[in-house]
């Protein structure tokens, strides 16, 4: 039983070890992180990245080398539209704002899925074009950071209470995922990601499965955007963009294969937490002018090394003839 559990979660060994080691280093370097308010702040700051990494997980599992490059600008898009459009309409009802964020993100993901399925362009091109389009659109909607989030949402940004809305959203996201994971649809997505031809010939509705993967991503992307908006309390057209690369790094670090068919959000969450600890540890050193570059250097190296580590667990795939 135990050995079976260990075997099934072997891909989590790398991210889990990394999180423990980095947490220890962070505990020595910045003990403030592990106080009550420290943890509350950590949850607040890490939540957008965690949810963004969770969002791109089902798309990666769905295969065809699907990695959603547009996730960052999408989160930014929801952020600026909440501030600018809903602000102009004076809509600040929490239910409406939640619904707006999730529906907008799902619409975008549905559009991407439709392009991939019906126009039959490789996912990477679709999401790349999506990145370019949204990045520009965000700047058109809101040329520079500014505006105000609805008051209840901006209040999340104080980050003094651990048991606050951000933590509840994270828990809700996990619950949604683990319910989804039990559904036959998830098995279809996984089968499709592992081998689309086999899935198709076994009668899996691959159109439905791909749409489902993208809609799940949309739900999490909407939640990520709400957390980001709560954290910064205003609109920022460019802040979301940086999330793309970080989310992909967290995903790869978490052992989800970009080749499709395997992985889960536990890995992505661990990966995102590891990334957050890297950030904490790096900022505890006094690098002065080069601290930003150190972060860049370490994120790049971590991404490369985690990709190399994923090679170790890779079974030799049968070559397509």
Partner 1 sequence: MTSGNVAVRRLLGPDARGLLIGFTLLIALFAVASMLVEGFASANNIRSILLLAAFLGLASLGQTMVATVGGLDLSIPFVIGASNILLAYLFGTAIPPALAILIIAALGAVVGLINGILSYRIQGQALILTLGVGFALVGGAQIFTTIGSQYSGTVFSQVPAWFANISSISGKTFGLSFPPVVLIWALVAGLIILWTNRSVSGRALYAIGGNRVAAARLSISEFRVWVTTYTISGVTAAITGMLLLGFSGGGFVGVGDPYLFTTVAAVVVGGTSLLGGAGGYGATIIGVLVLQVLTSFLVGMGLNYAAQQTVFGLLILPMVALYARSPHIRYQI
> Which residues make up the interface to partner 1 (CB under 8 A)?
65, 67, 115, 119-122, 124-126, 128-133, 135-140, 143, 196-197, 200-201, 206, 245, 248-249, 252, 258-259, 289-290, 292-304, 307-308, 310-311, 314, 319, 321
The number of C-alpha atoms within 13 Å of 320 and in the hemisphere containing its C-beta is: 3
CB 87 within 8 A of CB 148: yes
For residue 124, the minimal CB distance to partner 1 (Å) is 7
Distance CA 214, CA 193 (A): 13
Distance CA 134, CA 73 (A): 6
For residue 259, the minimal CB distance to partner 1 (Å) is 5
In Å, what is the CA distance from 267 to each residue of 98, 163, 173? 26, 23, 14
Nearer Cβ to partner 1 (2/288): 288
Nearer Cβ to partner 1 (31/65): 65
Nearer Cβ to partner 1 (108/156): 108
For residue 28, the minimal CB distance to partner 1 (Å) is 24
For residue 269, the minimal CB distance to partner 1 (Å) is 19
Nearer Cβ to partner 1 (171/301): 301
Of 246, 312, 307, 231, which Cα lies nearest the Cα of 278?
246
What is the sign, positive or negative, of the torsion defined by CA atoms of 80, 124, 102, 261? negative
Instruction: Name all contacts of 88-95 with Cβ < 8 Å and 24+ positions apart.
Output: 92/150, 92/151, 92/152, 94/150, 94/152, 94/153
Place of tokens 């970080």: 246
In Å, what is the CA distance from 320 to each residue of 148, 197, 210? 53, 12, 22
Nearer Cβ to partner 1 (89/307): 307
For residue 275, the minimal CB distance to partner 1 (Å) is 13
CB 46 within 8 A of CB 272: yes
For residue 287, the minimal CB distance to partner 1 (Å) is 9
For residue 87, the minimal CB distance to partner 1 (Å) is 20
Nearer Cβ to partner 1 (229/310): 310
Backbone angles phi, psi at 204, to 5 degrees: -75, 135
Nearer Cβ to partner 1 (4/120): 120
Distance CA 83, CA 85 (A): 6
Nearer Cβ to partner 1 (35/291): 291
Distance CA 97, CA 216 (A): 18
CA Rg value for the chain: 19
For residue 27, the minimal CB distance to partner 1 (Å) is 26
């Amino acid at each position: 039983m135990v050995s079976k559990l260990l075997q099934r979660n072997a891909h989590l060994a790398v991210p889990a070890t990394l999180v423990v080691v980095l947490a220890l280093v962070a505990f020595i370097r910045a003990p403030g992180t592990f106080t009550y308010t420290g943890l509350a702040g950590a949850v607040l700051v890490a939540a957008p990245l965690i949810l963004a990494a969770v969002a791109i997980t089902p798309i990666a599992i769905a295969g065809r080398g699907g990695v959603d490059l547009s996730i960052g600008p999408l989160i930014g898009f929801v952020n600026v539209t909440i501030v600018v459009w809903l602000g102009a309409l004076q809509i600040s009802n929490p239910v409406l704002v939640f619904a707006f964020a999730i529906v907008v993100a799902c619409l975008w993901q549905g559009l991407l899925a439709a392009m991939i399925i019906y126009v039959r362009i490789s996912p990477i091109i679709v999401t790349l074009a999506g990145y370019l389009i949204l990045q520009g659109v965000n700047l058109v909607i809101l040329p520079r950071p500014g505006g105000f989030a609805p008051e209840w949402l901006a209040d999340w940004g104080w980050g003094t209470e651990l048991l606050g809305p951000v933590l509840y959203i994270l828990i809700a996201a996990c619950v949604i995922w683990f319910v989804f994971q039990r559904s036959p649809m998830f098995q279809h997505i996984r089968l499709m990601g592992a081998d689309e031809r086999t899935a198709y010939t076994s009668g899996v509705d691959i159109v439905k499965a791909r749409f489902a993967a993208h809609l799940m991503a949309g739900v999490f992307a909407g939640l990520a955007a709400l957390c980001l908006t709560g954290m910064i309390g205003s609109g920022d057209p460019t802040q979301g963009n940086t999330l793309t690369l970080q989310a992909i790094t967290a995903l790869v670090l978490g052992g989800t294969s970009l080749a499709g068919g395997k992985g889960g959000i536990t890995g992505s969450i661990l990966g995102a937490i590891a990334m957050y600890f890297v950030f904490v540890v790096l900022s505890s050193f006094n690098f002065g002018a080069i601290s930003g570059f150190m972060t860049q250097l370490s994120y790049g190296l971590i991404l490369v090394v985690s990709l190399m580590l994923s090679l170790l667990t890779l079974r030799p795939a049968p070559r397509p003839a």
